[in-house]
A and B are shown apart, each in its own frame.
Chain A
Amino acid sequence: MSEPVVVAESLNVRFADQCVLDDVSFTVNRGEVFALLGGNGAGKSTTLKTFLGTVAPTSGSASVLGHSVTSDSDFIRSKVAYLPESVMLYGHLTGMENIEYFLSLADVKRSASDIEAALKRVALQADAWHKKLADYSKGMRQKTAIALALLRSAPVLFLDEPTSGLDPSAIDEFNQLVTALSEAGSTVFMVTHDVYGACQVAHRIGLLDQGKIVGVFERSGSELIDTEQVHTAFAKRNA
Chain B
Amino acid sequence: MSIIKSVMFDEWRYWRRTKVATTVILIGIALALASVIVNSIEVRQASAERTELQRISEQTFFDQPDRHPHRMVHYGHYVFRTPSPLSIIEPGVDAFTGTAMFLEGHQQNTAMFSEQRQSSGLTRFSSLSPAFMLQVLVPLMLILVGYSCVTREREAGTLHVMITQGVKVRDILAGKFFSLAGSGMLMLAPLAIASLWAGAHGESLAITASFVLGYVVYILVWSAIVLWGSTISSRSNASFAILIALWVVLCILVPRIASTTAATLEPSPGKLESDFSVVEELRALGDGHNASDPAYEKLKQDLLNQYGVDDVADLPMNFRGVVLTYSEKKLTDVLNKYAEARMDEELSQAEIARQFGWLSPMVSMRTFSMMIAGTNLENHHRFLREAEELRFDFVQALNHAHEHDLDYHTDINRYVNDDTAKAARVDASHWQVLSSFDFAPESAQFRLSHSLRYVLQLLLWAALMLALIKRASRGVM
Q: Interface segment, A5-13, A75-83, A191-199? A: A75-83
B158: chain A residues at CB < 8 Å are: 88-90
Complex CA gap A81/B18 in Å reads 29
How many A-B contacts if CB must be within 8 Å? 64
**A105 to B7, Cβ gap below 8 A?**
yes
Interface residue ranges of B1-48 to A (CB < 8 Å): 2-3, 6-7, 10, 13-14, 17-18
Q: Which of B14, B157, B161, B167 has the most CB of A within 10 A?
A: B161
Main secondary structure of the interface of B (DSSP, over half): helix
Quote the shortest CB–CB distance from B184 to chain A (angstroms): 22
Set B2, B6, B14, B163: member contacting A77, Cβ < 8 A: B163
Q: Does A26 contact B (CB under 8 A)?
A: no
A82–B160 CA distance with the chains assembled, in angstroms? 10
A107 to B5, CA, bound (A): 11
Complex Cα spacing A159 to B23, Å: 40
Q: How far is the CB of A47 from chain B (nearest CB, A)?
A: 14
Contact of A106 with B10 in the complex, beta carbons under 8 Å: no
- Cβ–Cβ contact B157 & A77, under 8 A: no
B164 to chain A, nearest CB (A): 4
Tell me whether A78 and B477 are in contact (CB under 8 A): no
B 161-176 to A, binary, CB cutoff 8 A, 1 in contact else 0: 1111111100000000
A residues near B18, Cβ cutoff 8 Å = 92
Pair B2/A82 contact, Cβ less than 8 Å: no
List the 9 shortest-distance A-B pairs measured between CB atoms, nearest first: A88-B157, A78-B166, A77-B166, A104-B6, A82-B164, A88-B161, A105-B167, A92-B17, A88-B158
Tell me whether B156 is interfacial, beta carbon within 8 Å: yes
A86 interfacial by beta-carbon distance below 8 Å: yes
Range class of the B interface residue count? 20 to 34
Contact of A80 with B164 in the complex, beta carbons under 8 Å: yes
Q: Collect the chain A residues with CB atoms within 8 Å of residue B161's CB.
A: 82, 84, 88-89, 102
Which residues of B are interface residues toward A (Cβ below 8 A)?
2-3, 6-7, 10, 13-14, 17-18, 156-158, 160-168, 477
CA–CA, A96 and B25, complex, Å = 28
Answer whether residue A74 sits at the interface, using C-beta atoms and an 8 A cutoff: yes
For the A-B complex with A86-B157, A102-B162, A106-B166 known, give 13 more contacts whose Cβ atoms are closer than 8 Å.
Answer: A54-B477, A75-B166, A77-B164, A77-B166, A78-B166, A79-B166, A80-B165, A81-B165, A84-B160, A84-B164, A90-B14, A90-B156, A105-B167
Across the interface, B165 reaches (CB within 8 A) one of A75, A90, A92, A102, namely A102
By a CB distance below 8 angstroms, the chain B residues around A88 are 156-158, 160-161
Can you report 15 residue pairs joining A to B where beta carbons are below 8 Å apart? A54-B163, A54-B477, A77-B165, A77-B167, A80-B164, A80-B165, A80-B166, A82-B165, A84-B160, A86-B157, A90-B156, A105-B7, A105-B162, A105-B167, A106-B165
